Amino acid sequence: MSFAFDSLLKIDLLGVRMHVGLIFILLILGIEFVAHPTSIGRMKAFIRTNWSILPFFGYLFLQFILNKAFPGAIMLLLYYFLALISFYYFFKKHSSISKQSVIMFQWIMVTTGLFQFLLFKIFGFQLSFYEVEHYMVDASFATRMRGFFVEPNWYSIVFSFNTLLLAMILKRKILEYKVLILLSFVCFYFNASYTSIAIVVLVLLIQAPQNIRYISKTKLITTFSLVLIIALVFAGRVYDKRKSSNQIVDASTAVNYGSRFFPVVRTYDFMTRQSSVKQFFGFGLGSWPYVGIEENRLGYIGVHVTNKVEPGKRDSAEIQVFMLEFGFLSFIFLFFDYFYNYMKYRKHNLFYAIACVFLASCFFIYPIFKFMMYIVPFYLMRSIVTERNEIIDKT
């Protein structure tokens, strides 16, 4: 439950922003290992069912060994390692996590989201877990719902994954929680993260030809009507935002719209002019603040906001950072895991298929790197689906 409060429960440990929930995970796993050092059965099961992530982590570790000269490389490797530990923990413990826990997690997300949003809209008070400038009234961070998260995007990611997890485990019984469904829709609306909705709709359209024959006409009409209503409501909200933004066009608005596109173009153009070795393997873990920002001014953060270079600094999205640090070869290892899982489970579990596409998409639009260790609902979804499939294969 603690992960739903995000920044309220984060502390700084030697430069690493770590959640209290993650600290407890490390303590629990440490105690269990000391008490039962020979009990490695779950570790073997974890590797067997999630082998598709190993090529990327192997490539990452090799990158660290060969390119460890950049300051912050150890810290970056630690973030990846913590994400893997978090995933392993929930793989190991998912059978003891009840449906009510997932429902309660959703309620906490809804409650904290509405609390923060109404606190700002009614009283003008802004919850600050970061620099004050980060929450300027004119910025979207202030006008969008984000709960106790630093950014509305992080709130949207966790909330989206938990909504998918909720739908997956409750199935038809989800209609019994009408108030929770309604409030969840309200939170999505005020969070204004259209990417999440777009990805869900896109995957549903892709899956429709395969699943349509299993759906009754009544359910099909109901689902189509619901999707149409949601689409119209969100389209109206997008139109209102675009209309208001056209009336007030300034430099910050232009920067905001270009922050996702131009860094990728600049980085790709820069990489194509490098040697074949650099193109395939990149400049090394932790090189982005120095090669990407300080030396070549490729990123959104380095170009438009500040010249300050900090070890481990990321950009407006993760994809350009991966491109420069790990080279084009890294995409094969990184997206193989998500593509493999999507292709394997898309016919058996639509919600997990959507989750795989959603997480892969996040690399193109969010700086998700330092947030990977906190995506608890996705780790739970993956653990439930993959282990269930392994049991079916054995029988």
Q: What is the pLDDT of residues 88-145, one digit of tens each?
A: 999 999 988 899 999 999 999 999 999 999 998 888 888 877 666 666 665 666 778 8
Ranges of residues in the chain with a pLDDT under 70 are 15, 38-40, 68, 130-141, 194-197, 200-259, 301-308, 388-395
Q: Can you give the pLDDT at residue 275?
A: 93
Per-residue pLDDT, 102? 94
Residue 38 is predicted with a pLDDT of 67
Give the 3-state secondary structure of residue 306. coil
The vertex-316 CA angle with 311 and 321, nearest 5°, equals 55
Residue written as tokens 């802004």?
126
The amino acid present at 21, given as its one-letter code, is: G
Alpha helices in 36-98 (DSSP H): 41-49, 54-66, 73-93
Sign of CA dihedral 84, 85, 86, 91: positive
* pTM passes above 0.75: yes
Q: What is the pLDDT of residues 379-391, one digit of tens each?
A: 999 999 987 665 4
Q: How many CB atoms lie within 10 A of CB 131?
A: 7
Q: Write down the pLDDT at residue 376.
A: 93
Residue 257, pLDDT score: 52
State the pLDDT at residue 377.
94
Residue 10's DSSP bridge partners are: 19
How does strand 10-13 pair with strand 16-19? antiparallel
